[in-house]
Structure 1
Amino acid sequence: MYHPQKSGSFASCFLLLLSFLLATTVAGHAVHPVLPRAALGMGDAASPFDMSQIYLTNSRWKENENRALSYLKNVNVDRLLYNFRANHKLSTQGATPNKGWDAPDFPFRTHAQGHYLNGWSYCYASLKDTTCRDRALYFVAELAKCQANNKAAGFTAGYLSGFPESEITAVEQRTLKNGNVPYYAIHKTMSGLLDVWRHLNDTNARTVLLGMASWVDARTSKLSYSQMQSMLGTEFGGMNDVLADIYLETGDAKWLTVAKRFDHASVFDPLASNKDQLNGLHANTQVPKWIGATKEFRATGDTKYRDIAANAWKFTVNAHTYAIGGNSQAEHFRLPNQISNYLSKDTAEGCNTVNMLKLTRELFSLSSNTTSSSPSTVGSTSYFDYYENALLNHLLGQQNSDDAHGHITYFTSLNPGGRRGVGPAWGGGTWSTDYDSFWCCQGTALETNTKLMDSIYFHDARDESKLWVNQFIPSVLDWKAKGVKVELKSTFPVGETVDLELSSPASSGEAKEWSLLVRVPSWVDGKAEIKVNGEVVSGQGTPGTYASVKRAWKSGDKVSVRLPRKLRTIAANDNSGVAALAFGPVVLAGNYGSEGLSSVPALTLSSVKRVNEIGLDFTATSGGRTVKLGPFYEARGFNYNVYWALK
């Protein structure tokens, strides 16, 4: 069984923490203020910027953000509070209860609300949208009232949920039979509160969150190791993730102890030994645990945690992932490399891809730290090549761009003749709605489409000597530490050129030396071309590497990156004769209108032609007829095909 121990590499961080805590002891009582995360966790070379320093500009991504923002600003907040208030014996104030997965009789009701808190927080952080801020603050204040009424409701101090605390007793005793996953729902609320605390500096959110964490500690401390491991057989979200994050925010070692109780040995042990035993596991149950493992590595320095997360990513991406970056069929992992045998209506659950992106960005940060060994090669683009693929080809098109509120699909079907917004009834069967759905994927999509800016740029937080550009989403970065703004302009992925323009306030316009590292994706045809102020930079542009330019940058400098593309195939792991088509990063889909398909159609690869040099429209011959091809992320309102039998 896996029992983490502190490693020697953690010694310096531990001593730093110890000295800090000793210095903050007053009258025999330890004080636990919010500490800089770097003072507690393993330092990374590449750290993401705070969302407040980045905003999107006009693009296909910005349109997704706008639709999500519209929904978040219009959804009825009191309806979202209904189950919390009812469960904690407070007035529902005449609000109408929701339907679907937030109906008053749905087992894990209130699982979605944490995602609304995430989304409101992100929109305020990046956009300074005061409506989102006020909604988040109001919601948290009302949650505080619910939590404060626990005695009258018959609950233990700190408990907060839309279902009774007896559900926790049932999951502990393994008698739960109604399909509830109570800790999964509780994790979502805690994650949302953490973001409100971080991004809005709301003390209410901190108080409610720490009250919930104390309640978790009290419940789980009474269980034996075997009882706890048995309970972890029921989906529990990322409880280890949020509790380790609380430790990294507060410096209180108690929360790290609680986080470790959620280390699921039957899943972690094989991964620590580099074994793929994912077959048959409910996919999205696992990924949040792996994200938590990265946080536990930061907190402890124990390399087993890092290995667990990195091996899980490697197995999932290389052996269980479809061409569009999504994984799982009917929400479950199948045997490794079984792709063509599972092209069905219930492939690529949205939640799982969202969480894989979170895991990816954490692992990129860890792999960039050259002071420690890493399962990936430092400087490789593999992490963000995957991130780009999954975001562009799965999640961007998961949202309905014809809907002002940006509703989404649960699964993204990859069966021949699939169609977005149509699928198994238990997975939604159509696009989500304002008040009748509340699927897990609806909540995670709100997160995705309100934090599209969070992984474009990374910086070396240790000395601000490097700036990574990992995605090519039009945006503006305000790099406050350097006194410079970076604007990324591009029509990517329609166009192949990415431009970066630097500007500085007059007061800090002097030249400053640092290194710009731009991802050159592995799909680039030949070599990328890098220009600074019109001059070609030699020795850079190899696909799968970061182009690095170190110089004294000044206001007005311009960098141009051309990323040549070509048509390529992405073969199914289990059948090289079945493949998806892509042009550069863009997976293409055939448009079959209302026609149904009974099997994977044949396609003559030599017949694929680009309609013109501008745009992403193609034609091909399939079954003796011409089929139109276009970006899969825009495939909506018609039956499509992604995988082909190549001729």
Structure 2
Amino acid sequence: MLSKFLYVGCVLTASLSAAQSVPPVVVPQAGVSAQSFDMSQVSLSNSRWSDNQGRTLNYLKFVDVERLLYNFRANHKLSVKGATPNGGWDAPDFPFRTHAQGHYLTAWVHCYATLRDSLCRDRATYFVAELAKCQANNAAAGFNTGYLSGFPESEFSALEARTLSNGNVPYYAVHKTMAGLLDAWRIMGDTKARDVVLGMAGWVDGRTEKLSTTQMQQMLGTEFGGMNDVLANIYQLTGDKRWLTVAQRFDHAAVFDPLAANQDRVNGLHANTQVPKWIGAAREYQATGNQRYLDIARNAWAITVNAHSYAIGGNSQAEHFHAPNAIAQYLTNDTAEQCNTYNMLKLTRELWTMDPSTANYFDFYERALINHLLGAQNPADSHGHITYFTPLNPSGHRGIGPAWGGGTWSTDYNSFWCCQGTALETNTKLMDSIYFYDSSTLWVNLFTPSILNWSQRGVTVTQTTSFPLNDTTTLRVTGSGDWAMRIRIPAWTTGAEIKINGQEAEGVEIKSGTYAQLSRAWKSGDTVTVKLPMKLRAVPANDNPNVAAVAYGPVVLSGNYGSSMLSAVPSLALDSLRRTSTSSLSFTATANGKAVNLGPFYEANGFNYNVYWATSGSNKTGGFKKAENSQKAEGTGLPCGCVSAWSSSLVYH
């Protein structure tokens, strides 16, 4: 039976069995004015995006579910059914084993929601049922009711007593399992997943309610993932304020207080420990309407994007934040942890839904998705394995590096890094942020080949493009009705054009860094053509304007150095940059006095590359000039001074 339910900002239109029903939201979201489509309403067309999805799907249908269950079963004193244990971060002796399985569960759920893949549905359902058996055996295992993990509950006792010394981050691992179960419940309607995750939430409440505020805050010094996020989600789905109370126990004052005052105090902090907390702050705002939470989330986003992010959109070096604007001095082989960007995009998405007039949120989203996450998957591997870090050192190389450091590719059964788990989610939800809507508006935020089934209006929108290989996308509307289409005009473009049925759109303001609005009575067959001219740009390091990456439109370019090794950042003559092909983003330039070929960084695989350059020279029109900010801080919904460094980078004329 076809049903529609509003939940956590999304409208679901899902074909569900009689035993399943997607939970409607009980507590409406405060401040949310743009809704996301159900993942089943958007499909990817042939492109690099769909290729990434396909490779990840192959792996999700290949991986041995029994091996993923090994540690859960062993810990909860059940038979491992002859399964072989995994290696890497899921080995039986690894401290936070079973941290990755929640990501696998979410990815299976995504593939069912998006592709209606029955094997992924069956794997998700089976996995949930087996976790339920583990949880049900807690008495025999000596654990408290509701506990579920691959390591003993005594790890939490050690955490609370501040005697944990083995490197475990137990709440981080538990959060991943809870998040996967939550997705199985809220997306697939799996009621067993609901029961298991509520049991886990009850267990969390039981442990944390016994702690004093001081004890709790001390415990939050150990990474705990997005516990405030998942528990606030559960509150909104159930209406039970118990879960909001538990969520707010995970408000980390040492991190939240400076951010509430818009103070950048992240230097030295483990980066990916922080971002999930900020997502939780956004969720807590939506659950409570408390402005302080929104301030924390917005300020954290602006501080990270403007003062701590590389040109590719990633952040952190050796997993840590450094001093504000410290970029050029940290170009190493362990930059840009992929988990951080996955989480920053989640935060970006949440913040944009509460302020959909602000285009620079999706300017950043596009930047990070194309230049970091898209290329972090190995296109030569049918299982779509990924890198943990994305090296930005001279002679960086994806696929080469020590252990899980550098740009080493993950494996089927001997990695299970945090970034391998988040990449499973990233590459199974690449369609989820292309389009958004409200009662009278369709937003087009990303230029990705795709088909939208706007079933709520009986409208289909087909987007056809080879972006970012060229600068044009077309949107063909099937169906009719009065509504507005709002199209993001990126800050990196100038002279953008929009045509409707081949004619210039009259009376439409088209300005970089804003949304162009087309309000009309749409007829079936109407076609919108959007042209976003691209130019070469420099993206200077915040701490050294003479060191810069170069980009063409949204695409960061990298130099191909083959097997050659560079001992330092090479010097690039900016006036030598030339495009050498009209069918690909191929360029040539002179660096260190020698010719070098450049191309999209997301395609830099199988060779040593260079991203940041010591820049010199100018061209006939006066060289690189400062672009005027297309966004002013005032009126953007962001704190003053939060204009994206990306939109104010240098433009090549």
TM-score of the superposed pair, with normalisation by structure 1: 0.91
8 Å Cα contact 2:387/2:399 also seen in 1: yes
Distance 1:265 1:37, change over 3 A: same
The alpha-carbon deviation at position 429 of structure 1 amounts to 6.0
Deviation at 1:40, TM superposition (A): 2.4
Q: Are the aligned partners of 2:333 and 2:407 in contact in 1 as well (CA < 8 Å)?
A: no
**Deviation by residue 1:552-602 (Cα, 9 ceiling, x = unmatched):** 112111111011000000000000000000000000000000001110000
1:472 aligns with 2:447: yes
Alignment correspondent of 2:380:
402
Question: 586, 607, 613: which is aligned to 1:617?
Answer: 586
Matched residue type, 2:601 = F
What residue in structure 1 maps to residue 18 of structure 2? none
Out of 414, 433, 453, the residue aligned to residue 392 of structure 2 is 414
Shift of 1:130: 0.4
The residue aligned with 1:341 is 329
Q: Which residue of 2 aligns with 1:645?
A: 614
Asked if 1:437 is matched to 2:419, the reply is no
Shift of 1:207: 0.5
Choose which of 518, 525, 548 in structure 1 pairs with 2:487: 518
Say if 1:193 and 1:225 are closer, same or farther in 2 by CA, change over 3 A.
same
Equivalent residues in 2 for 1:7-406 (5 A)?
36-37=24-25, 39-368=27-356, 379-406=357-384
Cα pair distance change 1:69/1:263, threshold 3 Å:
same
The one-letter amino acid of 1:492's match is F
1:532 to 487, 500, 506: 500
Q: Distance in 1 between matches of 2:341 and 2:425?
A: 12
Cα separation, 2, equivalents of 1:40 and 1:175: 41
Secondary structure of the residue that 2:354 maps to in structure 1? helix
Contact 1:283-1:352 at 8 Å conserved across structures: yes
Q: Percent identity?
A: 67
Distance 2:513 2:583 in 1: 25
Counterpart CA distance in 2 for 1:632 and 1:381 is 24
Counterparts of residues 498-513 of structure 1 (less than 5 Å): 498-504=473-479, 511-513=480-482
Give the corresponding residue for 1:567: 536
- How far residue 213 of structure 1 moved from its aligned partner, in angstroms, is 0.4
CA distance in 2 between counterparts of 1:111 and 1:92 reads 18
Change (3 A) 1:496 1:428: closer
Q: Give per-residue Cα distances to partners, 1:82-112, cap 9 Å, x unaligned.
A: 0000000000000000000000000000000
**Equivalent residue pairs, number:** 595
3-state secondary structure, aligned to 1:37: coil
Deviates more, 1:235-244 or 1:529-538: 529-538
Give the Cα separation in 1 of the matches to 2:187 and 2:294: 27
Corresponding residue for residue 599 of structure 1: 568
- Specify the alignment match of 2:461 in structure 1: 486
SS in structure 2 at match of 1:453 = coil
TM-superposed deviation, 1:624: 1.4
Residue 281 of structure 1, CA deviation: 0.2
SS where residue 431 of structure 2 aligns? coil
| Unpaired segments ≥5 residues, structure 2 | 1-20, 617-653
Q: CA deviation at 1:381?
A: 1.1
Q: In 2 relative to 1, CA 188–428 (structure 1 residues): closer, same or farther, beyond 3 Å?
A: farther
Quick one: distance in 1 between partners of 2:38 and 2:61?
22
- Conserved? CA contact 1:593–1:640, under 8 Å: yes
Give yes or no for contact 1:411–1:423 (8 Å, CA) kept in 2.
no
| Letter of the structure 2 residue corresponding to residue 339 of structure 1 | I
Kindly provide the amino acid, as one letter, of the partner of residue 446 in structure 2: Q
Residue 631 of structure 1: aligned partner:
600
Task: Give the letter for the 1:586 counterpart.
Answer: V
Shift of 1:612: 2.4
Determine if contact 1:34/1:250 at 8 Å carries over to the other structure.
no
Correspondence for 1:456: 434
Deviations 1:368-407 (A, max 9, x none): 3xxxxxxxxxx23110000000000000000000000000
Q: Give distance in 2, aligned partners of 1:101 and 1:176.
A: 18
Structure 2 distance, partners of 1:427, 1:213, is 34
Which residue number in structure 1 is paired with residue 525 of structure 2? 556
- For 1:90, give the aligned amino acid: L
2:555 to 559, 571, 586: 586
- Aligned residue for 1:393, secondary structure, equals helix
The amino acid across from 2:599 in the alignment is G
State how far apart, in whole Å, the 1-side matches of 2:398 and 2:600 are.
Answer: 14
How far the C-alpha of 1:615 sits from its partner, in A, is 1.4
CA apart distance, 1:35:
6.5
Inter-partner Cα distance in structure 2 for 1:429 and 1:263:
34
Partner SS for 1:40? coil
Alignment deviations for residues 267-307 of structure 1 (CA, whole Å, 9 cap, x no partner): 00000001000000000000000000001001110000000
Q: Which residue number corresponds to residue 6 of structure 1?
A: none
Matched, 1:608 2:596: no
Q: Residue type of the partner of 2:455? A: K
Query: What is the rounded CA distance, in whole Å, between the counterparts of 1:70 and 1:590 in structure 2?
Result: 31
Give, in whole Å, the separation in 2 of the partners of 1:356 and 1:415. Answer: 22
What code does the residue aligned with 1:250 have?
A: T
Aligned residues of 1:428 and 1:437 also touching (Cα < 8 A): no
Q: Is the 8 A contact 1:34 1:251 kept in 2?
A: no
- Per-residue CA deviations over 1:294-321 (Å, capped at 9, x if unaligned) read 0100111000000000000000000000
CA distance in structure 1 between the partners assigned to 2:242 and 2:183 by the alignment: 20
Task: Report the Cα offset of residue 252 of structure 1.
Answer: 1.1
Q: Is the 8 A contact 2:333 2:406 kept in 1?
A: no
Judge conservation of contact 1:601–1:644 (CA < 8 Å) in 2. yes
Q: CA deviation at 1:549?
A: 0.4
How far, CA to CA, are the matches of 1:48 and 1:143 in structure 2? 30
Give me the whole-angstrom Cα distance separating, in 1, the residues matched to 2:400 and 2:323.
Answer: 26
Report the Cα distance in structure 2 between the residues aligned to 1:242 and 1:422, rounded to whole angstroms.
Answer: 35
Could you tell me how far 1:46 is from its partner in structure 2? 1.1
SS in 2 for 1:550: strand
CA offset digits 1:428-471 (Å, max 9, x no partner): 762100000000000000000000011110111xxx20100000
**C-alpha contact (below 8 Å) 1:399/1:408 kept by paired residues:** yes
Report the alpha carbon displacement of residue 540 of structure 1 after superposing the two structures with TM: 2.7
CA distance in 1, matches of 2:33, 2:503: 29
| Aligned residue number for residue 630 of structure 2 | none
Cα offset for 1:482?
0.7
Instruction: Provide the secondary structure at the position in 2 that maps to 1:367.
Output: coil
Q: Distance in 1 between matches of 2:132 and 2:447?
A: 40
- Conservation of the 8 A alpha-carbon contact between 2:308 and 2:325: yes
Shift, 1:422, TM fit: 2.1
In the alignment, residue 553 of structure 1 is paired with which amino acid? W
Partner residue, 1:11: none
Q: CA RMSD in A?
A: 1.1
Change (3 A) 1:129 1:471: same
